[in-house]
Structure 1
Amino acid sequence: MALPSLGQDSWSLLRVFFFQLFLLPSLPPASGTGGQGPMPRVKYHAGDGHRALSFFQQKGLRDFDTLLLSDDGNTLYVGAREAVLALNIQNPGIPRLKNMIPWPASERKKTEC
């Protein structure tokens, strides 16, 4: 199918409009998430006993907001303000701190906030 040429008359503009209206939406989406946002790699349905995780607290840390589950499902990596944590979650509902790496923000990043 040849692309319509963009001419000066109104019929040419109308053909371009219909080309965009009907053909472009039928093209496959680009690779990636398609603008849907992050896609979970591991899913647990409501009521699954492996889904529950009890409260975790570490003195001096807050803003736990980035989570990544290890491939074996035994470690939960957690991004917090000023640190990255590795939690052992082998015992359902009882997360235990395996390791903590201090990760302070640079002065420039603090100034930006």
Structure 2
Amino acid sequence: MATEKEVLEFIIVPPYTRRAEIFAAKERMEAYLGNRFPGYSFKVARLGPVGDDDDFCVLPVMNFLGDDGRSYMCSEPKSWFVGDIAASCRSFAVSSAHYCNA
């Protein structure tokens, strides 16, 4: 069995100072990231302290279950890709007028 598999899921930890506002728009942010990066899934989580408290921390979910029921590690995502996800998190508009229209 081939054990190489690409990371498809990421956990996003918001900066401590923005936790409340990000969690108020958690579902929108997860959908926003899913639309920006099709084929990948994202979960915003309350973990901490993780990484730099002043920026978003992007954590790849690195393990998966194989057909044999054993746990395997995914190949590490490219650092530029993780950086692109973090940049998209920073550009997410929590209170966008686009979402306020009826």
TM-score by length of 2: 0.27
Structure with greater Cα Rg: 1
Higher helix share: 2
Structure of greater relative contact order (alpha carbons < 8 Å, 6+ residues apart): 2
